[in-house]
Structure 1
């Protein structure tokens, strides 16, 4: 499978489908996934969408002799769709987003829903009609509550690092592009249309959602927010995360109802569905992703600033220690390394697999306590062993121990052995005569 992915990557990078950025890398890459069940489900959803129109064209004719089996097939696909939609974890749903959109367009456009109801009365086509509106839905009742609070120590550390390390850096400054004061009412009205379900304690959410709607519409034209669409979406995503974290604070009573996050997700999907980022999880996950995103985006500038430090650089030392702990946790999760080829990054939104961006490379430039024995005070996170290391090693060893044609061909070995024996006998004969 690894070899297949490498071949696919090579084909993709050399095709017209690969729109490249300034670093000559594909903006959208081949998705790497080793979960066989997930791959199977994606293919089944896609195949159904791809062939649906062809099947529909012959369904009502005399040529169609398998109407009952077709109904069973449609019922199976819709049950699969419903099963995926009902998963509460949005990052799981995100892996199916393209197939979901294609299938929804195939079944919901025009009179397709009525057509299926007529041909297959027992098929629950409403499962698609209802869930399409609730894009990547979380529960809208109390069961969807997500605790969003952090301890005071984490909150203070985040503020310290933002104020003293990241503030003033070029890339980090892009977050300021989202700080508009006023939001048009038309944008606010795109959010929380079912306002009766919105608790009064979430009044801030309507204002924030209005800002989100504004930026989604204008995302491609915001001055100073250069980069590809994925970069712009990521900055907006983490800006929203930061706003929610700052608003909710560390109060033990601060939770966010699933309905609130679901509304934010719907706004993202409806106004700019090229931003495939979702609001789920918890403070801890949000915090770690944003830490990594900001670190990699500002890496070179942080590295340059280490040259101007005096002995009072402990804040930067604390920051790099903190980043290193998160980096160690996510390296295996996000990066697949190969013996020869470039690594595959499964977390392109917030992680960089290039070892040039290892936090240790900044740590070595800092003056930190215990610097005389850095291996004790700072653990260098090593690159994981390539996933194809054993295969490549065995292949090279086999190649190194192989024979050339002359030494390993049985014919040449026989001839050489015969001449050696004859030569030995001839020498003995000569010595005996002497």
Structure 2
């Protein structure tokens, strides 16, 4: 990322921070018009934008277990005749990549069924599919239950896990969740699974440590917002322990 892009990301971050402060003070109605304009412009996508395009996100890509996602993204060994994905074939003209995503999902389920760390890998698969679905569907219906393609994708995963007897590891999706909640849940999961790899000893340069600090500060805000619901989640969510 070049210097210009860094400056751009810093500007967006500062704008989001200012918006949140204005939102907090909005009881006085002084900032009502400005807040409404900002919300209309950015809606709920600032977290996705900042984490997918700005310096915070790459810090995880070099860390331990996060590399599991790279394995799930492989294009090899996909069954083009996967019958579990037949219901999604006709939808590929409306949702680019949905049919291929289903086949990758199927391959990943089959590949992890005999792994010793199957539970951990299933958690990562759960959030991997979150991320892929977000990129395809975030501009469509806000809730999972309202999107036929997402439901069909879920059904394909459920049918495969039933076939290979992975009921103990396959995590069911909550249809009442919206796409923004999914994304934030993934951010929290990835942080807690990889936090043990984050450090700033003498082997790290200042820029890397600054990125870690910004990333942890970002996660802290998310955690504070979700802490009540985190405490009520079952053990399928890794951050229940934190």
TM-score by length of structure 2 reads 0.66
The 5 Å alignment of 1:96-245 reads 153-159=46-52, 160=54, 161-163=56-58, 165-182=59-76, 183-187=78-82, 189-193=83-87, 195=89, 198=91, 200-221=93-114, 227=117, 229-245=118-134
Displacement after TM superposition at 1:285 (Å): 0.8
How far does the alpha carbon of each residue in 1:302-334 deviate from its partner, in whole angstroms, 9 at most, with x for none?
1x3455445443322221111111212333323
* More contact order relative to length (CA 8 Å, sep ≥ 6): 2
Contact 2:69 2:124 in 1 (8 A): yes
Q: Is the Cα contact below 8 Å between 2:230 and 2:239 reproduced in 1?
A: yes
* Cα distance between partner residues in 1 of 2:105 and 2:137: 17
Correspondence list, 1:31-46, <5 A: none
Q: Distance in 1 between matches of 2:213 and 2:200?
A: 13
Give the 3 Å change call, closer, same or farther, for CA 191–335 of structure 1 in structure 2. same
Q: Distance in 1 between matches of 2:188 and 2:137?
A: 22
Offset, 1:175: 0.9
TM-score (norm 1): 0.39
Q: CA deviation at 1:235?
A: 0.6
Q: CA deviation at 1:293?
A: 0.8
Deviation at 1:246, TM superposition (A): 2.9
Structure 2 SS opposite 1:201: coil
Distance, in Å, in 2 between the alignment partners of 1:201 and 1:151 is: 23
Asked if structure 1 preserves the Cα contact closer than 8 Å seen for 2:188 and 2:219, the reply is yes
Between the two proteins, the alignment pairs up a number of residues equal to 187
Q: Is the 8 A contact 1:150 1:283 kept in 2?
A: no
| SS of equivalent residue, structure 2 residue 238 | coil
Which has the larger Rg?
1
Deviation of 1:153 after TM superposition, in Å, equals 3.3
Go from structure 1 to structure 2 and tell me whether the alpha carbon gap of 1:327 and 1:347 turns closer, same or farther (over 3 Å shift). Answer: farther
SS of alignment partner, residue 181 of structure 1: coil
Q: Secondary structure at the match of 1:269?
A: helix
Q: Does structure 1 retain, via aligned residues, the 8 Å contact 2:154–2:173? A: yes
Offset of 1:279 from its aligned partner?
Answer: 6.5
Q: Which ranges in structure 1 are unaligned for 5 or more consecutive residues? A: 1-148, 337-344, 355-434
SS at match of 2:94: helix
For the 8 Å contact 1:216–1:272, the answer to whether it is kept is yes
Q: Indicate if the aligned counterparts of 1:291 and 1:323 stay in contact, CA closer than 8 A.
A: yes
Return the alpha-carbon distance in structure 1 between the equivalents of residues 224 and 45 of structure 2: 24
Q: CA deviation at 1:268?
A: 1.9
Give the Cα separation in 1 of the matches to 2:203 and 2:151: 46
Stretches of structure 2 lacking an aligned partner (at least 5 in a row): 1-41
Q: What do you get for the CA RMSD once the two structures are aligned? A: 2.9
Deviations 1:129-186 (A, max 9, x none): xxxxxxxxxxxxxxxxxxxx975532332123221x1011011111111122142122
Give, in whole Å, the separation in 2 of the partners of 1:151 and 1:318: 20
More helix as a share of residues: 2
Give the Cα separation in 1 of the matches to 2:88 and 2:205.
56
